[in-house]
Every structure is written in C-alpha cells, then in structure tokens.
Amino acid sequence: MEALKTLTKHGIPCGVMLGPIIPGLNSYQIPEILEQAGQAGASSAGYTIVRLNGAVEQIFKDWLHKNFPDRAEKVWNQICDCHNGSVNDSRIGVRIRGEGKIAASIQRLFEVSKDRFIKKSSDFEFNCNDFNHRANKVQLSLF
C-alpha cells in the first residue's frame, strides 16, 4: 500500500485489482483490502474470481487439500459453482466474474465495499498530447 500512497500523493490516479478471489478461502477479505486501498488513495477497484486452466487445476487442488484439508471440498465446490460446474470457464465475460449464487454474493460484497471505501475521482482526464508510439521504447523515470 506504500506504493499506492506514494503514487496518489503525486497526483497519479491509482486503482487496485483483487484477484484471484477464491470463494470460501479469501473472499471474506474483500472489505478489509478495499478499506486499506481507499485509505491509501485508490480511486478504482476491480476483481477476478479464480479460474483454473489446464494443469493448474490439479496443482491447485493438491495445494488446497494439503493446506486447508478441513474446507478443501467446500472451497472446491464453491469454485465449481462459480464456473457452471467446472473450475475452468472460458466464456468471455463470465470467466472473470463467474456466475451463480456464490459469484453473485462475491460481486455484491465487492460492490458494497467498493462504494463504501473507494472514493471515485472524477477530475482526471488522460493527456495524450505527448504520446508518440514511434518514440524510443526506453522506460522513463516516474519521478
């Protein structure tokens, strides 16, 4: 959060991205994270629900059972509930947010927390006057 504070102190609008949100494992932390982000000056926020592609599915499942044996099946079933019975949903627009009751409750918790803690900044406009896509690709210093 220190980097966020530094950037916003210098007038640079910043947001936070929470992800992956894992139902039953870290979803309860959404309000606390957004509160801290808001206190640090974040003016926007987004999130993604966990999606397990290919070999990641088995690796994650093994990790889940080793580290959270008491709730591994519950978490796994909630992830499946968010992705139409699977842990991987590739449908555009659905794969990031999920669907179903669990995904809807996560979305509602996120929106309520965001509205409460993230102060929207409406005075920012991009200045693209100096942008030159043909310019040297050297990274400039921020400060």
Contacts of 49 (CB under 8 A, 6+ apart): 19, 20, 21, 22, 23, 79, 82, 83, 96, 97, 98, 103, 106
Confidence of residue 1 (pLDDT cuts 50, 70, 90): confident
- pLDDT at residue 121 above 90? no
Each residue's pLDDT tens digit, 16-64: 999 999 999 999 999 999 999 999 999 999 999 999 998 999 999 999 9
Which sign does the torsion angle of CA 67, 73, 77, 78 carry? negative
Three-state SS at 21? strand
Distance CA 83, CA 37 (A): 28
Each residue's pLDDT tens digit, 60-115: 999 999 999 999 999 999 999 999 899 988 888 888 999 999 999 999 999 999 99
Confidence of residue 122 (pLDDT cuts 50, 70, 90): low
